[in-house]
Amino acid sequence: MYQTHPPASGQCPMRPPVPPPAGPLPIHGPDFDRDPHATYQRLREQGPIAPVEISPRVPGVPGSSPVYGYLAVSYWSALYILRNTPDLFAKDSRPHWAALRDGQVPANSPALMMMQPRDNALWKDGEEHQRLRGAITSALARVDTYDLAAAITRIADELMDAFVADGQADLATQFAEPLPMMTVTELFAAPPEIGSRIVRHVTTLFAAGPDAAEANTLLEAACLELVHVKRARPGRDVVTSLIQAGLTDPELVQTLLLLFGAAAPPAAKAIGRTIQRYLTDAHLAQHVHTGVLPVAAALESVLWDAPPVANYSPLFARSPMTIHGAQVQPGYPILVSFAAANSDPALGGLAPAARAGNRGHIAFSAGVHGCPAQGMGRLIVETAVERLLDRLSQLRLTIPDSDVPNIPGTFLAGPASLPVSFRPATPALGR
């Protein structure tokens, strides 16, 4: 990472040196989880792109070392990297991630589960990326958004009916977390038993904990089962559309994993954070309540300063380069910190009023790998939150905002719990 000279022409690239332990700041662990923005600020002091320790060594694995890489922490460096992929930066980690290529990343590394090469559009460049992304966009284009909104509303009612008479609930675990996964499994026409397993394993995978490798294996198996079911009984659903696009079984498994992972955990965190924002920002809540601002405005505010995908989009420099004064060497993964980039002081500290309706953030990434389902993601979050606010009156947090726990981890961010009270009401369904 600190190598400053490229290899001579015609020579094999040198194995990148391992950074000294005292160098890169960790973007994991209790200190980072407690205050990630403090780490982002320390990294900004080093430059717009800084070396980081993405995950620690795997205990009990002889010779394993931490996973090192870079983190883009400025808005403009993040945009530069995303907009210059694949010309200057590659997504396929197979030939470009030196530690992985040389067998230095243990198979059960939590970071590997989120960063390993897969046969889907996220990890491909050029024509392969276009082919696989085209299959996704075509399948999603067939989704009837009116039917989808109706399904989200029904699922929201089903979830709320389980606790609406109690006058209290944890809106993170009882509402925000299950709703997107239930929506996506219905969108994919997944049998309930397979869908419930996919929900469980995707959640574990994104937590990037010690059981992530096992969850990845089980998730791939569940996705393959779903492919077999849809090949035998095709329907008018996203999975059938992907099969009709000619994807192979391995491509279908990894594409489904991508779609479940991209649609559900981030949407769950966005729902939770938007509800939290509504309950703790009196100015925003008043304007949403009176109709001056839509729920969409609250969501955009969250996407600016608390994006659910905090750090992700791994890519690799194709050659040594200097980006806005920061030296970057090939061989190491570069993560984009959407959380740090959107809160970059260089943007002038946009006031909440300026963020409402402002979509200049990069919470959905950018460039050729920008999220192809932004509209669907927004629809899930906005419909869920609107339905919740319609049904639950006198809604308030039962703990101080500062005591709301956040989920630990490098990649996802959001509330782990949202204990609330409200006026007890009658269930909406089955009356």
Tens digit of each residue's pLDDT (9 = 90 or more) over 245-285 = 999 999 999 999 999 888 889 999 999 999 999 999 887 77
In a domain, 341, yes or no: yes
Which residue, among 192, 83, 188, 202, has the nearest Cα to 136 in the 3D structure?
Answer: 188
Is residue 221 a contact partner of residue 118, using CB atoms and an 8 Å limit?
no
- Cis amide prior to 86 (ω within 30 degrees): yes
pTM for the predicted model, two decimal places: 0.90
In a domain, 93, yes or no: yes
Question: 104 CB contacts (<8 Å, ≥6 apart)?
Answer: 63, 64, 65
In a domain, 430, yes or no: no
DSSP state of 172: I
pLDDT band at 23 (very low <50, low <70, confident <90, very high): confident
In a domain, 19, yes or no: no
Distances in Å between the alpha carbon of 154 and those of 2, 161, 260, 383? 54, 10, 20, 10
Ramachandran angles phi, psi of 321, nearest 5°: -155, 165
Q: Which has the minimum average pLDDT: 103-107, 175-179, 247-251?
A: 103-107
Give the separation between CA 402 and CA 89, rounded to whole angstroms. 39
Element (H, E) at 411: none
Give the separation between CA 61 and CA 53, rounded to whole angstroms. 18
- Domain residues for the domain of 345 are 25-421
Give the separation between CA 60 and CA 259, rounded to whole angstroms. 33
pLDDT in the model for residue 430: 54
Element (H, E) at 314: strand 311-317
Tens digit of each residue's pLDDT (9 = 90 or more) over 118-147 = 999 999 999 999 999 999 999 999 999 999
In a domain, 102, yes or no: yes
At position 377, the amino acid (one-letter code) is: G
Other CB atoms within a 10 A radius of the CB of residue 99 amount to: 22
Q: Which residues are bridge partners to 326 per DSSP?
A: 323
Ramachandran angles phi, psi of 206, nearest 5°: -70, -20
CATH at residue 151: 1.10.630.10
Token pair for 188 = 């994919």
pLDDT in the model for residue 357: 63
In a domain, 3, yes or no: no
In a domain, 356, yes or no: yes
pLDDT band at 196 (very low <50, low <70, confident <90, very high): confident
Tens digit of each residue's pLDDT (9 = 90 or more) over 319-338 = 999 999 999 999 999 999 99
Which residue, among 20, 15, 213, 29, has the nearest Cα to 104 in the 3D structure?
Answer: 15
Is residue 314 a contact partner of residue 333, using CB atoms and an 8 Å limit?
yes
**67 vs 8, which has greater pLDDT?**
67
Provide the number of structural domains found in the chain: 1
In a domain, 5, yes or no: no
